[in-house]
Amino acid sequence: MTSTEVIFTDVSKFYGEVLGVNKVTLHIPPGITSLVGPNGSGKTTLMNLMTGLIRPGRGSISVLGLSPNEPEKLMRVTGYATQFDSAPRWATGMEFVTTGLTLYGYSQHDARDRAWQALDQVGLTEAAERKVAGYSKGMRQRVRLAQAIAHDPQVLVLDEPLNGLDPLVRAETITLFRRYAAEGRHVILSSHVLQEVDLISDQVILISNGMIVAEGEIRGVRDEISEHPSQFIIRCRDASRIASLLFCEDHVTEIKMNDDRLGLLVLTRNREEFSQALTRIALAGYSIDGVIPSDENVDALYEYLIGGGRS
């Protein structure tokens, strides 16, 4: 069976009596997908399940039609940069990456070439011949990323991949993820930096206590949260007059005026009607410089759906 998706079907995983994930059903399409949830919510468990490091207690998992029980096939199309901070003691950065590549069937020469390219992408060429055990935490993070991308996988699974990266490498890494996504590959990552997730993700999966709380494109997920009014920031010159006009609308629940009186924060229960109201106001001759949705981001979704402390 061939498939372009990563599919979880009714997957549960318990560690003894401790819940890992419970009855997870997911269809992850190509693109950048972020797993978001508090510590212990099950993000890493999902990643470990899809790469075969752990086995589900029930349910099934398919990665591009391949079973995680067959690493010899799965890992040819998958690269996983784990959060496990240890590396074999014997390995230099170069050996760490080339040993893996030789197991993929590359010759020593080709493996070194590819390893060098991967290490270059994560800015680690200078330390390539040093022992990984002596690397800093950030360098170990980068060498794991290099190993995950070295064989050019179709599915890249990354547990907190941007931790410990300096701004330049971080930007280059995000560019790499975007390139992968543009090529129709999967980049599945977890991150606790919600702004970052917001910036790079095509879709998000919100997970809490081992259960999937929401999944899909950020805008789509936001639309489905009806109990929280949508928030918009309006930049305008005549803020007080526009505020009084909007108050007449039934769907508007709250308006806050900026201190500079050049902007408004509007809470509405109906995005369509809000849009129409703004059009009427603009046609009436009031100047509106811009309208920005302020809670169509992972931060807001997290707050609405999960709340509490963030991972």
Partner 1 sequence: MTTAITKVEVQQAWTIARSEMRRAFLSKRGLWVYLLALFPCAAYLAHDVQMKVMEERWTRHGLTSVQLVDSFTKGETADAVLKRAPNPAFDHSWKNRRDDDGDRDGRAAEGREKTGKDRKERAEETVQRRAITYFDGQRVVDLRFSDGVLQEKLVRPIRDLEMDRRIFAGIFQYFYLRLAIFFGCLGIFMNLFRGEMLDKTLHFWFLMPVRREVLLAGKYIAGLTAASVIFGGGALLGYAAVLWPHNGVEGQAFMAAVGWSHAFWYAAAAVLGCLGYGSVFLAAGLLLRNPIIPAAVILLWESINGFLPAVLQKLSVLYYLQSLCPEAAPMDENSPMLRLLLAPAAPASKSLAIVGLVAVTALVLWAASRAVRTIEINYSTE
The site for partner 1, by CB under 8 A, has a size of: 30
Give yes or no for residue 126 binding partner 1 (CB under 8 A): no
Give yes or no for residue 158 binding partner 1 (CB under 8 A): no
Binders of partner 1 in range 61-100 (CB under 8 A): 69-76, 80, 82, 84-90, 99-100
According to CB under 8 A, which one of 22, 33, 34, 51 is a site residue for partner 1?
Answer: 51
Tokens 């496990």 map to which residue? 84
Give yes or no for residue 141 binding partner 1 (CB under 8 A): no
Task: Return the axis-axis angle of helices 93-103 and 137-149, rounded to nearest 10°.
Answer: 20
CA 300 to chain centre: 15
According to CB under 8 A, which one of 3, 60, 103, 166 is a site residue for partner 1?
Answer: 103
- In the complex, least distance from residue 105 CB atom to partner 1, rounded to whole angstroms: 6
According to CB under 8 A, which one of 22, 33, 41, 48 is a site residue for partner 1?
Answer: 48
According to CB under 8 A, which one of 54, 176, 288, 291 is a site residue for partner 1?
Answer: 54
Distant-in-sequence, close-in-space partners of 110: CB < 8 Å, separation ≥ 6: 101
Give yes or no for residue 104 binding partner 1 (CB under 8 A): yes
**Which tokens is 171 given?**
């930007």
- In the complex, least distance from residue 243 CB atom to partner 1, rounded to whole angstroms: 54
CB atoms < 10 A from the CB of 136, how many? 10
- In the complex, least distance from residue 27 CB atom to partner 1, rounded to whole angstroms: 24
Give yes or no for residue 109 binding partner 1 (CB under 8 A): no
Give yes or no for residue 122 binding partner 1 (CB under 8 A): no
What's the CA gap between 235 and 202, in Å, rounded? 27
What's the CA gap between 124 and 130, in Å, rounded? 10
Give yes or no for residue 280 binding partner 1 (CB under 8 A): no
Give yes or no for residue 292 binding partner 1 (CB under 8 A): no
Contact yes or no for 132/96 (Cβ under 8 A):
yes
What's the CA gap between 94 and 147, in Å, rounded? 9
Sign of CA dihedral 70, 72, 73, 74: positive
What's the CA gap between 112 and 94, in Å, rounded? 7
Question: Mask of contacts with partner 1, 4-23, x by CB under 8 A?
Answer: -----------x--------
Distant-in-sequence, close-in-space partners of 94: CB < 8 Å, separation ≥ 6: 112, 115, 116, 119, 128, 129
Nearer to partner 1, 95 or 198 (CB): 95
- In the complex, least distance from residue 57 CB atom to partner 1, rounded to whole angstroms: 11
What's the CA gap between 37 and 237, in Å, rounded? 39
Which residues of this chain interact with partner 1, rule CB under 8 A?
15, 48, 51-55, 69-76, 80, 82, 84-90, 99-100, 102-105
